[in-house]
Chains A and B, each alone.
Chain A
Amino acid sequence: MAPTLPSSDQASDQDNWDNGRLARKRQLLIEIVLRNKLTALVVDGDTTCRVLEQLLLRSYGVQTQGVDNGRDAVALIASGVKLDLIIIDMILPVLNGLETTRQIRDMGVHCKMLGVTICSRESERQVFLAAGVDVFIEKPLDPEHLVPILRELDGQ
């Protein structure tokens, strides 16, 4: 039997978990149905982060690819791949996230770009936005930030 988390039947008020928060996360995972087939690219040098972000997107039916460095991201887009959404980290191997974002925008790509990164300073956030990302999100990417963006892209 696959492990299960305590359901609302089993959890007591004395439970230290915030079951309301957990329930909301679960709800967000199944809440939306996309009418259109959206495509996305995840650009992250860390395997765990990249896999998690791709899985989250795929759980909503978004067709997703992943690359682990900025140069491959630029090359993929230059090859003509059409994307609705790009999720990009700020620090990347080979070609950093800021320069990658600038080059993607310089190619005339206008799709939604989310800068999803670990950040400690407001100045870094502003630099990333100035480079061309539309939205800045602190890692990890979560449904609460992603779902409204997917709805917008889906025209809902």
Chain B
Amino acid sequence: MAASSTDPTQQLNDYIRTMHDQGILDDNFDQLLALRREQNPRFINELISMFTNDAEAYIAEITNALSLTEVDFSTIISKLHQLKGSTSGIGGHRMYQACCELRVAADDGDKGRCDELFLRVKEEFNTLKQCLDSISQMRSNIISNGTRSRRRRPL
């Protein structure tokens, strides 16, 4: 029987495909999905939560470093390095590209350009976060429905 558009799993797959099409996610997110088969069902949701919490912390630290009278480019570069790494691991393609551009500006010590490009990093993070939160929610619903179905099965 073909999966209908109201099938939650198909809806999730369609959503992920759309995020790929828009460049928000890339193949690295697919690698996570392939890994998740080895793990507990909530692994992806936990990883998403880990990523967004850490990314928010890195962004806060970069914000602080950029706001100093004497901009702390060294801290910006080191936090950006970690943010780029985790973003690439989660498959956040557009956000990763924005981080790469900011890195160039930070290497050049260009505060004006850093301010401008950091805005874009934050915008892309918000977009990615919304995307990942949606995926998390859809997966939670699927997992919960699956658990309820198993409980209803006769012994």
* Chain A residues packing against B (C-beta within 8 Å): 1-6, 10, 15-18, 21-22, 25-26, 29, 44-49, 51-52, 55-56, 58-59, 89-91, 117-118, 120, 139-140, 142-143
Contacts and interface: CB of A to CB of B under 8 A. Distances in A.
Interface residues of B, number: 45
Going nearest first, the 4 A-B pairs with the smallest beta carbon separation are: A48-B86, A1-B146, A46-B82, A140-B89
Contact of B35 (A22, A46, A55): A55
Nearest to A21: B27
Contacts of A91: 77-78, 81-82
Contacts of B143: 2-3
A80 to B, nearest CB: 30
20 contacts: A1-B149, A2-B142, A3-B8, A3-B12, A3-B13, A3-B142, A5-B13, A15-B17, A16-B17, A26-B34, A29-B35, A29-B37, A47-B86, A48-B86, A48-B90, A49-B85, A52-B32, A91-B77, A120-B104, A143-B31
A59 B31 CA distance: 12
Contact of B47 (A2, A3, A51): A51
B89 A48 contact: yes
B30 A22 contact: yes
A140 B90 CA distance: 9
